[in-house]
Amino acid sequence: MPLISVVVPIYDVEEYLHQCVDSILSQSYRNLEIILVDDGSPDACPQICDCYATKDSRIRVIHKINGGLSDARNAGINCASGEYILFVDSDDFIHPEMISFLYKKISTHSVDISVCSMKKVYSPEDYIDEDDIIYDDSSDVILSAQEAIEALLVAKDYGSVMACNKLFTADLFRKSNIRFPVGKLHEDVFTTYQVYYLCDKISFSNCPLYNYRQRPESIMGSAFTPRRMDALDAADEILDFIESKKLPLKKQGICHYLLTNIGLINTIIRDDKGKLYTEYIKKLRSNIFKRGFGVFMNPHLSFKNRIGIIFLFWGFWIYTPICKLFFLLKNSK
């Protein structure tokens, strides 16, 4: 069985780190190199990492100055020696069969990346149950690089952009300059489509094997801040990439660009920050106006999003109460 490197970037997660690392140590797939990257964590995480390293020879610990999630992942990639790489965020945890399952998919389908689905975890009652798992190869979806990029852009069910539910062939990183963007939020949006482009085939399974913890205090779980606008840079880079590689995905790229702008506006409205972030709203609306006039000619936008863009054209004062009503109805379910 080939060596698989598991990269765990760690910062200020003392409360969750044991569950994360224990879930990796409990994997049925045993030939692992577990790289714990202490990203200058201010709590007891550095000591916890060192303690684990004394108990299991498969664990390597990197202590570094804080540089953020991307920098920590990159440090893990640069020292990984496995034939495959898996990323696990340190506040999440994985099913005991996850790595074995993903490797089996790579072997069975001769793909460069295998992907499983995630389960959002709000409380212990949400942890993955064995009944959630269907070990059925017949339901797998095998996509080409272009098809997988399209799935990301139009947000299909198997189009998750996150890096943590994927087993990557390590050479996709070693033989390219692709790394996670240091200092940026939405790091996976900047990166995943580029890695997909290097692939021959990618397999997707609906089997949920990754427990994705939802924390209000996490960066993405907190209220809107200007740093969230990094998503726009990623959307612009994707459009440039599509053009430079001459991919027939222009409408899909515009769909992703529009959805990114709409999503940021919705987050501002959800957090009642409209008055505080007026300039950002103006910028986001302007972006939509520039690319949204062909909205009804774009088959990749849902009816709901098309109507939302029309309301934005009419005026933010119309869009805001409709958006708040939608949030209210959604939260009441």
Give residue 221's pLDDT band: very low, low, confident or very high (50, 70, 90).
Answer: low
User: What confidence score (pLDDT) does residue 326 get?
Assistant: 79
Asked if residue 218 belongs to a domain, the reply is no
Residues 146 and 44 in one domain: yes
Distance of alpha carbon 21 from alpha carbon 35, whole angstroms? 10
Q: Pick from 191, 213, 235: which residue ends a domain?
A: 213
Residues 209 and 236 in one domain: no
Is the four-CA dihedral 46, 51, 56, 57 of positive or negative sign?
positive
Residues 169 and 306 in one domain: no
Residues 209 and 233 in one domain: no
pLDDT tens for residues 48-67? 999 999 999 999 999 999 99
- What range does the domain containing 311 cover? 226-331
Residues 50 and 103 in one domain: yes
Residues 78 and 191 in one domain: yes
CATH number, domain of 209, equals 3.90.550.10
> Number of folded domains in the chain?
2
Q: Scan for tokens 């997660």, then name that residue.
A: 13
Asked if residue 152 belongs to a domain, the reply is yes
User: What confidence score (pLDDT) does residue 156 get?
Assistant: 74
User: What confidence score (pLDDT) does residue 332 get?
Assistant: 64
Residues 47 and 131 in one domain: yes
Is the four-CA dihedral 292, 298, 300, 303 of positive or negative sign?
positive
Residues 202 and 236 in one domain: no
Q: Pick from 213, 244, 270: which residue ends a domain?
A: 213
Residues 208 and 230 in one domain: no
Q: Read off the pLDDT of each residue in 218-247 and give the average, rounded to a whole number.
A: 89
pLDDT tens for residues 17-39? 999 999 999 999 999 999 999 99
Residues 294 and 204 in one domain: no
Asked if residue 103 belongs to a domain, the reply is yes
pTM for this one? 0.92
Residues 58 and 134 in one domain: yes
